[in-house]
């Protein structure tokens, strides 16, 4: 694909962003783009691409349905769309060009529930491809999907010998889709897995060969159930869900640090009670814990659960804890990162190659990386620099479209190289 | 008025309940009922009845306007309605039958923002006068307004000598209207003030001559403003509004008890943060403090404000505290309560008279009571028992309409008696 | 006894104060004074005066023994002293002068562990009767014991018909002796019980006929057992007793207020950990809860225990809670207080009689009062005003010795009067 | 020195351990040992060895004096002893054998305030050199001092060219002496600095060439001053120091984690209040904060100070915070550690050489290391394995005396080597 084709595809996806598990138009548009390539691909779509039983952090049905109805208004293949109904989004494209090796490339495709900026200095607005939805590609997944398609096209036309699988993964933003894709059968024979992300504060022309420092993460949603009472007339008859929650929040942040490595905790969302004069009957807390390793995350989760339980007990409340979405930690294999670094150094437009950088946050690509590593394969998460005016997840985020080509070239080059070096 | 007229009026008001500062239909309907009496009344409506500058706990303009528009669809005097626009509700009816004394009767008229039960065992539903609004007379103010009108009618037809003023007060449920009415000029010459409430767990046939134990109350609305940050990647960059709030809640309940009498505190509503992985940027707390005396409430408010301020400071957050609605404490004068008790004992249908009972909660009738007491008058808050199937403020609350007559007779008798005893 | 004898006895007791359960010299000196009266008394001393199994808040044996050894140096009856060994202090003196009624008078005799002031403006220092011990009569119990002896002497010489029992109770300051005395057999036939206290901010010449507002009280001693760990090297291996304690303290004060009446809570003493760099292995908390009624105290104790338990659980600590000393609430009977008031009004030197006043604190005379009331008797706690330069429990506390006579006269008069009025 | 001389010296020091800033006998004994060597040394003792103005964590004068008096009973040079009076302990020995380089060796010499085990299975007890003091060499500093003397002796007898300075540093256990030694003039010309520690869970025969992971540390001692009040009678009059402390402890542990690296916090010692029924007037907290870097420690200290201040403010208490002892982080230079590793690999008795290990805790050798590094020198902290039956700081700690020789040989070899390699 030419640069202008990449740009055009990316802009089309940018115009119609869809949040996690609602990537109906997006998946259908990706399938359409893949089918238009001159390549002999096997396509697995929706329930054939993911293991539907392992979808995490699913939104309400009504939410899913509303976005599905919206997608039906667009000019996309109705059969493809129908197969995605109910939130079975995503796709896997397979290109067989030889026995071995099997190389995987994972790109994510979802947007964020945020309104895009509309100022004249925001290029998508100025150039007419601002989001038409109540959502926004504020993290660059539109360019990830585009690079994925660009790589297949390039590999189809190359000397690569082996099998290439491109994973168009849904629901990364809620760390909800990685597990479903990892638990599909498509990862079983993958020898090398590449994943990619644009930006991350690296400018256009910079490549990070192997990103590390993925924190394992787990969400906890706790609801405290107390007993309402009139706060003036009968304070002693209440069982105060707000007090339970406050005690929990104070003690969650105070879970001991761990000498094995970094841990995190956040009581991100709190909500409780109905009126100033009523002892709160119900209070809700959405929290998350993280760890530099999966074990450290589990340490935090176990301690956090104890805090929630004891805080409920202290104020005589009942407690429901739902463990929500979750992702393990993972590491980029040095052996594979070295190949990326070599290729990148020789790629047009790449001015600087960093061997390593730390993500600091979490990513559910780790589910796929570990799946591959556990059966003996190698995995590497590659950073493709791009100048981005606003920070990730902000309303003024945008990518420098020059980096689409860098992404395609570095990944294609790496895929070709590993097929050559394989005995 | 005959019993059936009282019932009919009460049911009409019950059908169209309106919450605080939105009693447009209600006020107009009261005015209509007053005008239909064979009595020579002076009527003060809306801005002439209350001191608009002292309205507390006003809802958003859009809320006020929506209920105003709804009221305009009903068959009430458009001029009366127009005079209430913008949330200037309530009325004062004055009946002059002699020089002195001036006796006041305060009744409140607002409903609650709650959906009424619709089961067959809920009489208003069974009998066809269930609320047609997204609100409900779940505290009996429909019967208070009805009794107020009944008393004027009875006094007009009695030997009473002096002036009777009936205060149809809006916005009691949010302790928002008492001050506005007390700060009008209408209280200045009142020698005796009576207020009334139905129910309060007293059965039909029981009268409480003088209710006491009004807790002074004040609302505090606090907003903590922090700084968002990614909880995984940059936890140290956040200023955590949820942590500040939790620290505040823990310490609010821990304000020292006071040896001068009862105090209360409640952090009734909490809400903060936007996502599990973001350090909360903003958190909001709706709290209230109370005291057996106004001084005790002020003690709690001062301590509470200190807690909020220090909790914000601890987590490096900014703080906005709005002191919301407020009501003082008050006491029923024994001299006047004794008259009520005597009259009640001789009233048909009254089976039991309690001299005193304790409210336990708060009421902004206290503003009017203190206004009268401060210039040397006497005030008394009378309880009129009524069997109520559900508790006050619940969706199955209802009154036994027999108590309408008890209310009218006891209050009318008391008003007559004080005019006789006055030298 | 003449005034100067009362003064002389009081000063002797003042010089040798002994704290709770260590009143060895004090008891022996009281016995000596009783024996020197021209009255035919039955004396019950030490284990015969109290029920030793119900002694609360006993100090360490070594403490008891040290004070016992000190007492042995004084010129008191060695046999009396020997009978008190091991902390069985106190005495009961019985004077039989007729069949009925039986009237009891309870006075307490212990000092406080505090060093007495030695300034020239402190009368005991100036006049040479300052404490010679590491303790002080900083609450006037020296004058209580003196009044008790004065009353027996006066009654012996009066027309009183019936039986008088004077209870010289130990260990009031730790609410430790009341129960032991109440559980002796001596209360079983008491028809009227009087108790007394000097001062309480009432000046010389003022009598409070019936004191009320005794808060029921209970002590809780909690120890949190955690696991030490190096705070730098292995923070995750600790189980932090200091954190558990801090969580408990925060939540103890936040136990909901109760609409039935006053409650109190105090985490008075805290102590935990061994070094800055070690996660605290053990932490100790001495707390108390109170209530206007015994039920309210029990409400606080049950909630408090829950808080302690949950705080331990939250930080994975073990917990030991010891319920310590305890006293119920009680009420002065109006019937008996009326007699006191009448007598007091006619007593020389008494300038003002208050019918009622509130104690606000706790007192274990309530054990005796309830014992008598439960079998149908009447009880009353009398306040005898005295000018006191320093507050109770401070190092400059002292009594105006004129009030000794007031106490003797009012109590003697009351005892005579009830014997007359008894049919 | 022969092995038996090393052992004998170590056992003598072991018998008379002295805690921080009280190493009177220890310093004098070290000076005696140095003077008995056949070497031409310059000795700097007490105030000449350290900068007295920078002594941190000094004990009470009475404590210092008591240990000084004890030391005066021993057979040591009274002039040396006199020069140490007031807690100016420690020594520096300088051996000049050529122009350059200057190599430093830092050993620490203080014991711990802990009673040594006396079971037969504890070798110092069995062999008769158990501590005779209320202190114990429970961290092996007796062997450190011994190795220091052994190294000087060996270097005196070697081909080494340059200057050797051995720093016998006091008060490491309270991180109190490092700064005072670093701020003396003796470090100014040091080109290479070695420090050493035995054990640290490494067995006899193991050498760690370069230890890292020193956490910067700072102590905070906070005192909350409130107002006492009777918890039953006047709870509102108190200003509760215990509540302030509890709020502080809860929030100290909840200081946000930092993405730049490890942080620590511990509220190790708490103490407050005087009686169950008195609102606590005063409460004291001994805490520490640490960071992987000095900056991270300072982040924690600043946040911690804010927490203390706000907690005091919340409960209307006054606050005094004393910043106590403190040590920075530091890193062993790879260049120097490589030399140690090489030498160790060729040393008799050394079976295993680790290049790096992490300390996890804190050490004030870092003051000296940074002093040297800041003027361009190299520093390295060497671990000398020793089998130790009990853990460091426990009553059964002991060293395998075979490791004395390993320490002397590895350090001597390294010192020789750097003098050869220096151009």
Interface predicted TM-score (ipTM) of this complex, two decimals: 0.87
In the predicted structure, residue D21 carries a pLDDT above the cut 90 = yes
Q: Could you tell me if C280 and C404 lie in one domain?
A: no
Concatenated DSSP letters for D61-130? HHHHHHHHHHHHTSSS-HHHHHHHTTT---EEEEEE-SSS-EEEEEEE---BSSPPP-STTSHHHHTT--
* Residue C114, pLDDT score: 87
Last residue of a domain, one of A327, A346, A370: A327
* Residue A423, pLDDT score: 47
By DSSP bridging, strand C163-169 and strand C91-96 are antiparallel
Q: Could you tell me if D176 and D232 lie in one domain?
A: no
The residues in D 321-360 lying below 8 A from A, measured between CB atoms, are: 360
In the predicted structure, residue D195 carries a pLDDT above the cut 70 = yes
* Residue A422, pLDDT score: 57
* Beta-bridge partners for B29: none
CATH number, domain of A210, equals 3.40.630.10
Domain encompassing residue B25: 3-214+330-421
Note the pLDDT tens digit of each residue in A228-243.
999 998 999 999 999 9
- Give the integer Cα–Cα distance in Å for B212 and B329: 9
Cβ-contact B130, B192 below 8 angstroms: no
Asked if the Cβ–Cβ distance from C263 to B254 is below 8 Å, we say: no
Note the pLDDT tens digit of each residue in B241-257.
999 999 999 999 999 99
Q: Could you tell me if C323 and C367 lie in one domain?
A: no
* Residue C423, pLDDT score: 46
| Chain C environment of D283 (Cβ under 8 Å) | 270
Neighbours of B323 (CB within 10 A): 12
Percent of chain A with pLDDT over 90: 93
- Give the integer Cα–Cα distance in Å for A61 and A219: 20
Structure tokens at A153: 């096209």
Q: Tell me whether the omega of the peptide bond preceding residue B101 falls within 30 degrees of 0, making it cis.
A: yes
- Give the integer Cα–Cα distance in Å for B108 and B173: 9
* Residue B422, pLDDT score: 57
Q: Which residue of D has its CA nearest to A257?
A: D264
Q: Is A149 helix (H, G, I), strand (E, B) or coil?
A: helix
Structure tokens at D66: 């008591």
- Give the integer Cα–Cα distance in Å for B66 and B7: 29
Average pLDDT of the segment spanning B212-240: 94
Distance from CA of A151 to the nearest CA of B (A): 30
Q: Tell me whether the omega of the peptide bond preceding residue A101 falls within 30 degrees of 0, making it cis.
A: yes
By DSSP bridging, strand D216-225 and strand D263-272 are unpaired
* Residue B54, pLDDT score: 96
Neighbours of C256 (CB within 10 A): 25
Q: Is D368 helix (H, G, I), strand (E, B) or coil?
A: helix
HSE of C395, CA atoms in CB hemisphere, 13 A: 9
Size of interface B-D (CB pairs under 8 A): 63
Q: Is C94 helix (H, G, I), strand (E, B) or coil?
A: strand
Last residue of a domain, one of D306, D327, D348: D327
What is the overall mean pLDDT for chain B?
96
CA dihedral B392, B396, B401, B402 (to 10 degrees): -70
In the predicted structure, residue B88 carries a pLDDT above the cut 90 = yes
- The residue among D226, D181, D205, D119 whose CA lies nearest residue D407 is D205
Cβ-contact C111, C172 below 8 angstroms: no
- Give the integer Cα–Cα distance in Å for D353 and D202: 10
* Beta-bridge partners for D44: D92
- The residue among D212, D120, D203, D110 whose CA lies nearest residue D400 is D203
CA dihedral D404, D408, D411, D417 (to 10 degrees): -150
| Chain B environment of A266 (Cβ under 8 Å) | 231, 235, 276-279
Concatenated DSSP letters for B278-298? B--SEEEEEEEEEESSHHHHH
In this structure, chain C runs to a length of 423
What kind and span of H or E run contains B30?
helix B24-35
State the binding site of D for Mn(2+): 139, 141, 173, 197, 393
Out of B226-230, C66-70, C79-83, C143-147, pick the least confident. B226-230
Cβ-contact A103, A191 below 8 angstroms: yes
* Residue B420, pLDDT score: 85
Q: Could you tell me if C150 and C230 lie in one domain?
A: no
Cβ-contact B200, B63 below 8 angstroms: no
Average pLDDT of the segment spanning D272-278: 92
* Residue D140, pLDDT score: 97
- Give the integer Cα–Cα distance in Å for B8 and B28: 16
Cβ-contact D277, C266 below 8 angstroms: yes
* Residue B377, pLDDT score: 96
* Beta-bridge partners for D210: D356
Average pLDDT of the segment spanning D268-273: 97
Tell me which residue in D254, D262, D360 faces A253 most closely, judged by beta carbons. D254
Last residue of a domain, one of B302, B327, B352: B327
| Chain C environment of B257 (Cβ under 8 Å) | 257, 262-265
Q: What is the pTM of this model?
A: 0.90
Q: Tell me whether the omega of the peptide bond preceding residue C101 falls within 30 degrees of 0, making it cis.
A: yes
- Give the integer Cα–Cα distance in Å for D406 and D384: 7
Q: Could you tell me if A230 and A268 lie in one domain?
A: yes
Note the pLDDT tens digit of each residue in A383-400.
999 999 988 988 999 999
- Give the integer Cα–Cα distance in Å for A165 and A43: 10
Neighbours of D221 (CB within 10 A): 16
- Locate tokens 């190289």: which residue? A417
Q: Could you tell me if A183 and A269 lie in one domain?
A: no
Distance from CA of A260 to the nearest CA of D (A): 10
The phi and psi torsions of C312 (rounded to 5 degrees) equal: -65, -50
- Give the integer Cα–Cα distance in Å for A327 and A333: 18
Mutate to test the interface with D, among C219, C232, C278 (most CBs of D within 10 A): C232
Burial class (CB in 10 A: 0-12, 13-18, 19+), A344: buried
Q: Could you tell me if C244 and C195 lie in one domain?
A: no
In the predicted structure, residue A216 carries a pLDDT above the cut 70 = yes
In the predicted structure, residue C422 carries a pLDDT above the cut 60 = no
Is the backbone of residue C380 left (phi > 0), alpha (psi -120 to 50) or beta?
A: beta
Query: How many distinct structural domains can be found in chain B?
Result: 2
Q: Could you tell me if A19 and A120 lie in one domain?
A: yes
Average pLDDT of the segment spanning A168-174: 96
Distance from CA of B223 to the nearest CA of D (A): 17
Structure tokens at D285: 């907290």
Mutate to test the interface with B, among C215, C247, C253 (most CBs of B within 10 A): C253
CATH number, domain of D275, equals 3.30.70.360
Q: Which residue of A has its CA nearest to D290?
A: A257
- Give the integer Cα–Cα distance in Å for A340 and B100: 99
Asked if the Cβ–Cβ distance from D273 to C268 is below 8 Å, we say: yes
Q: Could you tell me if C145 and C283 lie in one domain?
A: no
Q: Could you tell me if C279 and C370 lie in one domain?
A: no
In the predicted structure, residue B345 carries a pLDDT above the cut 80 = yes
Alpha helices in A72-122 (DSSP H): 78-84
Distances (CA, A) of A261 to A213, A365, D212: 11, 21, 15
- Locate tokens 């270097």: which residue? D155
* Residue B94, pLDDT score: 98
Average pLDDT of the segment spanning D308-328: 96
Structure tokens at B67: 């209920």
Q: Could you tell me if D62 and D103 lie in one domain?
A: yes
Average pLDDT of the segment spanning B19-29: 98
- On whether A173 is known to bind a ligand per the annotation, the reply is yes
Distances (CA, A) of A69 to A13, A73, A177, A198, C409: 18, 7, 21, 31, 96
| Chain B environment of D257 (Cβ under 8 Å) | 235-236
What is the overall mean pLDDT for chain C?
96
CA dihedral C69, C70, C73, C77 (to 10 degrees): -70
Q: Could you tell me if D75 and D119 lie in one domain?
A: yes
Q: How sure is the predictor about B361, in pLDDT bands with cuts at 50, 70 and 90?
A: confident
Average pLDDT of the segment spanning A303-321: 98
């Amino acid at each position: 694909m030419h640069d202008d084709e990449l740009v055009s595809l990316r802009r089309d996806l940018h115009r119609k962003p869809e949040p996690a598990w609602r990537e109906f138009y997006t998946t259908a548009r990706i399938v359409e783009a893949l089918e238009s390539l001159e390549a002999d691909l096997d396509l697995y779509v929706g329930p054939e691409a993911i293991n539907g039983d392992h979808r995490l952090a699913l939104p309400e049905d009504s939410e899913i349905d509303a976005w599905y109805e919206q997608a039906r208004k667009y000019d996309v293949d109705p059969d493809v769309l129908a197969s995605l109904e109910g939130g079975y989004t995503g796709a896997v494209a397979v290109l067989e060009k030889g026995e071995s090796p099997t190389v995987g490339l994972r790109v994510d495709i979802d947007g964020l529930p945020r309104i895009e900026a509309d100022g004249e200095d925001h290029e998508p607005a100025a150039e007419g491809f601002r989001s038409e939805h109540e959502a926004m590609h504020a993290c660059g997944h539109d360019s990830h999907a585009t690079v994925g398609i660009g790589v297949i096209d390039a590999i189809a036309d190359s000397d690569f010998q082996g099998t290439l699988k491109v994973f168009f993964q849904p629901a990364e933003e809620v760390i909800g889709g990685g597990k479903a894709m990892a638990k599909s059968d498509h990862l079983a024979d993958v020898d090398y897995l590449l994943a990619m992300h644009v930006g991350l504060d690296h400018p256009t022309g910079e490549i990070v060969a192997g990103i590390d420092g993925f924190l394992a993460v787990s969400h906890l949603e706790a609801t405290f159930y107390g007993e309402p009472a009139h706060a003036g007339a009968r304070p002693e008859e209440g069982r105060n869900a707000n007090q339970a929650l406050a005690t929990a929040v104070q003690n969650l942040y105070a879970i001991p640090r761990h000498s094995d490595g970094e841990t995190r905790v956040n009581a991100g969302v709190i909500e409780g009670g109905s009126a100033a004069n009523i002892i709160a009957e119900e209070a809700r807390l959405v929290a998350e814990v993280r760890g530099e390793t999966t074990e450290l995350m589990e340490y935090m989760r176990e301690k956090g659960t104890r805090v929630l339980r004891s805080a409920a007990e202290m104020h005589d409340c009942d407690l429901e804890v739902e463990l929500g979405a979750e992702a393990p930690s993972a590491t980029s294999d040095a052996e594979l990162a070295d190949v990326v670094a070599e290729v990148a150094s020789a790629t047009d437009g790449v001015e600087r190659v960093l061997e390593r950088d730390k993500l600091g946050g979490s990513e559910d690509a780790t589910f796929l990386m570990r799946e591959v590593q556990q059966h003996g394969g190698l995995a590497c998460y590659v950073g493709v620099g791009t100048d981005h005016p606003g920070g990730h997840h902000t309303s003024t985020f945008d990518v420098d479209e020059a980096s689409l080509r860098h992404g395609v070239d570095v990944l294609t080059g790496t895929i070709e190289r590993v097929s050559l070096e394989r005995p």
